[in-house]
Amino acid sequence: MHHDDTPIGRVLTRREALVIFGASGLALLAGSPLGPGRRAGAHSVVPSCVARPEQTEGPYFVDERLNRSDIRSDPSDGVRKPGVPLALALAVSRISGRDCIPLTGAQVDLWHCDADGIYSDVTDLHFRTVGHKFLRGYQLTDATGTARFTTIYPGWYPGRTVHIHFKIRTPAPSYSKAYTFTSQLYFDDPLTDRVHALAPYGARGSRTMRNDGDRIFRDGGPELILAPTASRDGYAASFALGLQMDS
């Protein structure tokens, strides 16, 4: 039976957001077109990154140390997992007062299930994929704090809504101590319905869990929803994260 662990994060309250961002920054909780550290006005500095809730790692994280941007293929045989392509960019910043400082050189791991709801390199009651490493990999954030991946739109499995796992890690020499942030990304249900009606997803039938029924999603998931746009051959999405590393 598929399962994930108990949620560990929480969403910022309005009061907490006011403390961190100031009143003028509340609108940024819904997203912002400004890049990290850019000014929103001549006399005010508004953080363009957003503090996000941490969520459970789940049982399927494997520290593969697989440095690659395109995570669709299995290194053991080169076979690419089928599915609707998804280009994903994670923009990672460190919140310092009202500023967002791009976090360079951080390791961002990404992993999720394939179109059939199967994870690689694990043993589950319904599958054993040890030795395979499809849909796993990491990138180091560049000078803008961005890590970019090419993957596929995830499938579904019983007990969870559709999601992507990610983990951000910084080495101890970069700050006073090593820092780790783990969470998950989600999709709007109507978009997932459209994608999952296509091959190869449609062969599995309708999924059994939607966002509002997922206990992990209910604990901060609305702040972690991607907003993909249609690209030439699939979808593209970006997501900004502001990390409070000095607290």
Three-state secondary structure readout of the chain: CCCCCCCCCCCCCHHHHHHHHCHHHHHHHHCCCCCCCCCCCCCCCCCCCCECCCCCCCCCCCCCCCECCECCECCCCCCECCCCEEEEEEEEEEEECCEEEECCCCEEEEECCCCCCCCCCCECCCCECCCCCCCEEEEECCCCCEEEEEEECCCCCCCCCCEEEEEEEECHHHCCCCEEEEEEEECCHHHHHHHHCCCCHHHHCCCCCCHHHCCCCCCCHHHHECCCEECCCCEEEEEEEEECCCC
pLDDT above 90: residue 33: no
Name the superfamily (CATH) of residues 54-89+104-237.
Answer: Aromatic compound dioxygenase (2.60.130.10)
Higher pLDDT: 4 or 55? It is: 55
Residue 28 pLDDT > 80: no
Q: How far is CA 179 from CA 99, 109, 173, in A?
A: 19, 14, 10
Q: Report the pLDDT value the prediction gives residue 244, as an integer from 0 to 100.
A: 86
Q: What is the pLDDT of residues 70-123, one digit of tens each?
A: 999 999 999 999 999 999 999 999 998 888 999 999 999 999 999 999 999 999
Residue 18 has pLDDT above 60, yes or no: no
pLDDT of 243 over the 50 cut:
yes
**What is the band of 5 on the pLDDT scale with cuts at 50, 70, 90?**
very low
Residue ranges per structural domain of the chain: 54-89+104-237
What pLDDT does residue 9 have?
A: 35
Categorize the per-residue pLDDT at 16 as very low, low, confident or very high, splitting at 50, 70 and 90: very low
Q: Is residue 3 predicted with pLDDT exceeding 80?
A: no
Report the predicted TM-score, pTM, of the whole model to 2 decimal places: 0.82
Per-residue pLDDT, 234 = 97
> Over pLDDT 70: what percentage of the chain?
77
Task: Measure the CA angle with vertex 33, ends 31 and 38; round to 5°.
Answer: 110
Average of per-residue pLDDT across 33-52: 48
